[in-house]
Amino acid sequence: METGSNSDSLAKAETSNGRGNKLGSMLPKIEPFVPKKDQNHNPRELRSWAKRTGFVSHLSGETGTASSTERFDSSTGFHVGKSGRDQRAGGSSPKIEIDPVLGRTRPNMGVEIEMDSGSGSGSRQGRKTVADGNGLGEKVEERKVGLNGNGVENGNGNGKGNGVASVTPLVVEEKDEEGKGGRDVEIGMYPEGEEQGHEGGNGHHPGLKVGLRDNPGLGALIYYGLQHFLSLAGSLIFIPSVMVPAMGGTDKDTASVISTMLLVSGISTILHSYFGTRLPLVQGSSFIYLAPALVIINARDYRNLTEHKFRHIMRELQGAIIVGSIFQSILGFSGLMSLLLRLINPVVVAPTVAAVGLAFFSYGFPQAGSCIEVSVPLLLLVLICTLYLRGISIFGHRLFRIYAVPLSVTITWIYAFFLTAGGAYDYKGCSPDIPSSNILVDECRKHAYTMKHCRADASNAWRTAAWVRIPYPLQWGVPIFHFRTSLIMIIVSLVASVDSVGTYHSASLLVSSKPPTPGVVSRGIAFEGFCSLLAGIWGSGTGSTTLTENTHTINITKMASRRALVFGALFLILFSVVGKVGAILASIPLSLAAAILCFMWALVVAVGLSTLQYTQTASFRNITIVGVSLFLGLSIPTYFQQYQPESILMLPSYFVPYAAASDGPVHTINEQLDFSINALLSMSMVVTLLVAFVLDNTVPGSRDERGVYIWSCAEDVATDPSLQLDYSLPGKFSSLCCRSSCLRA
């Protein structure tokens, strides 16, 4: 390979494209690789040349979790890509240099690469110039659209040799005014023609057992679907165990609410799989709505209410959820969510989601500690399964990681039955019928609390529940609408939307697809609002949103088929009709439910903070914003909660923090507004969101430092068939909704 011939060939190629000066001003001069004449191609020399000229890869080395999105720079004509995880990681993922792969070619053949600016947005076109020893070059164009191109060229230099060219990203070091190294900009070219962190043309990432659009068969779909929902059992069934007793409901009411939640969760998951973002995400009752529900439940107006207390509070919650869901739907369908996406980034999402779990520290173990002999073994067992036994595989399945919660609950529940049957909680003259008979006997009054929280047969839900009961709309009565509770749920629905944005982005990385477009995100938020509307009409007590823990489940199970989620949701709907299923779940001892919720809330905190991996975690700016947001998010509500209710003896100690709405320090001329402000400022997630949102969008910081979410463009969907299959509405619905900008991908 002659230096002069190759230089002339490169100059001719640039002149023919009419942009030699433009390239020269942007890119450093790249001399061709010239090996020593007395040696063959030396890999070390080739490595040195690749490093010197900038042909290095920006891959993180973690297959299946990296993400990249590209944007089209109209001024240069290049598609510039930014790594979704690697560049945001703040140096946590080192750059790995990958040597270009040389095929069997003639000794005098070389490969030179130049960029072609002729392609439009959504596609990239690379041009290779193959030069022979005489200086004559043959230009071979390679076009890759979306994920369909294989990125491998079989070149026949002179009809004899077959060469395979593997192209690595071109990294250009930008210099700032002070001469310091700036961020790296990748030209949109990747090894083997695959986009970094994205799936291949078949839509199945190597790290997944079942891809997003895969159909493994009926048996596998049923198995994976049930597996997915069983791993999220804690989030789906234990919220009523906290809410209904606080509302004055009976065991039968708890069973009915659990059945309603199963029905709404099944319907919501199916709707989201077909009409929402179409990512494999479970929709269900979220802990985000639990704190505001407890605030409304413990309002002063309901403390002395005895007759039909449960139904009255439930109707109040229904009205507030309906108003909040309508606001969320408007936010999505109107396109306002697309504008809000510019201001929602990982530095905002991480502390907000973490505050959701931290808000229940005053309820968790104080309630679980009511029966230490049951709650502590459960906590130890679930930690052993998730941490110490997570690597054990049984028949090719890591059951202890996937089913840690249901396995631990089942084993501990059986243990509680043995304690009950063995007479551990039998007291002379005291009846197991809790608490109606024992509260009247002086000798039994001190044991009634222990028997209620520890006995496995304390609940009479199994005896009172019907075998078949179909939850129906407005089963508790006509919803009640008040300004104070509606305003609370409007703000809470905004918090739920912020939580879902982070979940959408994380899930898109796990299934190895490009991030959704702003239109898809808006569509997902809109349908979440619609599903919350169904929850309000049916009366589940909480709104419906994307379960944050679901991304953790996808990462463990390696199952991302939305068909499997639909099958699992159908079984959830079937179980909701069988009244005895809800009765069995309602029979779980309250201390056992509180113990598993301690683990679930801790997992929510961990999942929320894990969102910071997309930012520069060592940045002092980010550390300060997250720290201040979390501290004030816990401290300011504590200030409001110190104004204890006037009738403190009527509330358990773990419910006192949720009584600040009626007795807080804010006093205006409008009592409804007082209630709303005191309630909102007494909730950790609301205060944390406000502080993080203001600081992140006012404190200067680079896009890489902030970990700004980069969403796909609408043009990418039009040119990339894989994106259309991932996010576009199915069949005829896509054409019916094509005129609505918020429904288009």
pLDDT surpasses 50 at 374: yes
Q: What is the pLDDT of residues 213-252, one digit of tens each?
A: 888 888 888 888 888 888 787 778 889 999 999 998 999 9
Which amino acid is located at 585 in the chain? L
* Higher-confidence position of 139 and 549: 549
**pLDDT reported for residue 313:** 95
Instruction: With CA atoms as reference, report the closest residue to 454 among 593, 360, 586, 581.
Output: 593
> Cα separation of 359 and 556, whole Å?
26
The rounded distance, in Å, linking the Cα atoms of 607 and 354 is: 7
Question: Is beta strand 153-156 parallel, antiparallel or unpaired with respect to 68-73?
Answer: unpaired
Per-residue pLDDT tens digits for 396-420 = 777 888 888 899 999 999 999 999 9
- The one-letter amino acid at 309: K
Question: pLDDT grade, residue 51 (50/70/90)?
Answer: low
Mean pLDDT of the chain: 76
Half-sphere exposure (CA, 13 Å, Cβ side) for 370?
A: 25
pLDDT digits (tens, 9 = 90+) for 97-136: 444 444 444 444 444 444 444 444 444 344 444 444 444 4
733 pLDDT band, cuts 50/70/90, is low
* Residue 452: closest CA among 313, 598, 245, 652: 245
Residue 134 CA to residue 191 CA, distance in Å, equals 29
- Phi, psi of 289, deg, nearest 5: -90, -5
CA nearest to 601, candidates 242, 233, 292, 355: 355
| Alpha-carbon span 471 to 462, nearest angstrom | 17
Measure the CA–CA gap between 21 and 384, rounded to whole angstroms. Answer: 64
Instruction: Yes or no: say if 607 and 548 are a contact pair by the CB < 8 Å rule.
Output: yes
C-alpha angle 22-28-32 in degrees, rounded to nearest 5: 110
Query: Mean pLDDT, to the nearest integer, of 576-595?
Result: 91
User: For the chain, what percent of residues have pLDDT higher than 70?
Assistant: 67
> Interhelix angle for 483-510 vs 671-681, to 10°?
30
The token pair at 697 is: 């969008």
Residue entry with tokens 């304690």 = 419
Contacts 24+ apart (CB under 8 A), 306-313: 306/248, 309/247, 309/248, 310/244, 310/247, 310/248, 310/249, 310/250, 310/253, 311/476, 311/477, 312/480, 313/247, 313/248
CB proximity list for 479: less than 8 A, separation 6 or greater: 315, 316, 318, 319, 322, 536, 537
Task: Tell whether the model's pLDDT for residue 87 goes beyond 70.
Answer: no
Round to whole Å and give the CA distance between 68 and 366: 45
Confidence of residue 725 (pLDDT cuts 50, 70, 90): confident
pLDDT classification of 41: cutoffs 50, 70, 90: low
pLDDT in the model for residue 256: 95
CB 454 within 8 A of CB 425: yes
Sign of CA pseudo-dihedral 58, 10, 174, 71: negative
CA 448 to chain centroid, in Å, comes to 42
Q: Determine the average pLDDT of the residues in 83-92.
A: 42
- Look at residue 445 in the predicted model and tell me its pLDDT: 72
Is residue 713 pLDDT above 50, yes or no? Answer: yes
Amino acid 216: pLDDT: 87
What Rg value do the Cα atoms of the chain yield, rounded? 30
By the 10 Å C-beta count (0-12 exposed, 13-18 middle, 19+ buried), 44 is classed as exposed
The Cα–Cα gap between 69 and 713 comes to 9
Provide the pLDDT for residue 732.
63
- Evaluate if residue 206 carries a pLDDT over 70: no
pLDDT of residue 186: 38
186-190, long-range: CB < 8 A, 24+ apart: 186/58, 186/68, 186/80, 186/81, 186/82, 186/83, 187/78, 187/79, 187/80, 187/81, 187/115, 188/70, 188/78, 188/79, 188/80, 188/81, 188/124, 189/124, 189/126, 190/151
DSSP 275: H
pLDDT (0 to 100) of residue 42: 56
Question: What pLDDT is recorded for position 540?
Answer: 93
pLDDT (tens digit per residue) in 650-699: 677 788 888 888 888 998 889 899 999 999 999 999 999 999 999 999 99
Residue 723 binned pLDDT confidence (cut-offs 50, 70, 90): confident
Quote the pLDDT of residue 150.
39
> Strands 162-165, 171-175: parallel, antiparallel or unpaired by DSSP?
unpaired
pLDDT at position 728 is 84
- What is the Cα 132 distance to its own chain's centre? 52
Q: What percent of the chain has pLDDT over 90?
A: 41
Taking residues 350-377, report their average pLDDT: 92
Tell me what pLDDT residue 50 has.
52
DSSP lists the bridge partners of residue 163 as: 155
3-state secondary structure of 484: helix
Residue 652: Cβ-neighbour burial (10 angstroms; 0-12, 13-18, 19+)? exposed
Side-chain half-sphere exposure of 617, counting CA atoms within 13 A:
13
CA distance 92 to 396: 32
Q: Which residue has the tokens 């823990």?
A: 549
At 413, list the tokens: 């529940």
Q: Identify any residues that bridge with 114 across adjacent strands, giving them in sequence order.
A: 127
Judged by average pLDDT, the poorest of 41-50, 151-160, 549-558, 584-593 is 151-160
455-497 pLDDT, tens digit each: 888 888 888 888 999 999 999 999 999 999 999 999 999 999 9
**Distance (Å, whole) CA 554 – CA 209:** 10
d(CA 216, CA 745): 26
Q: Do residues 236 and 229 lie in contact, with contact meaning Cβ atoms separated by under 8 Å?
A: yes
Question: Across the strands, what pairs with 68?
Answer: 83
141 compared with 334, residue with greater pLDDT: 334
Q: Measured between alpha carbons, how far is residue 530 from residues 471, 477, 491, 526 in Å?
A: 18, 20, 16, 6
Residue 93: pLDDT over 90: no
**Helix pair 404-421, 372-383: axis angle to 10 deg:** 150
**If we measure between CA atoms, which residue out of 445, 439, 378 comes closest to residue 413?**
378
Closest Cα partner for 286 from 532, 482, 562, 579? Answer: 532
| Listed residue (592, 594, 589, 629) closest to 609, CA to CA | 629
Find the mean pLDDT for residues 254-270: 95
Residue matched to tokens 């130890």: 380
Q: What phi-psi label fits residue 36: left (phi over 0), alpha (psi between -120 and 50 degrees) or beta?
A: beta
Whole-angstrom Cα distance, residue 150 to residue 462? 59
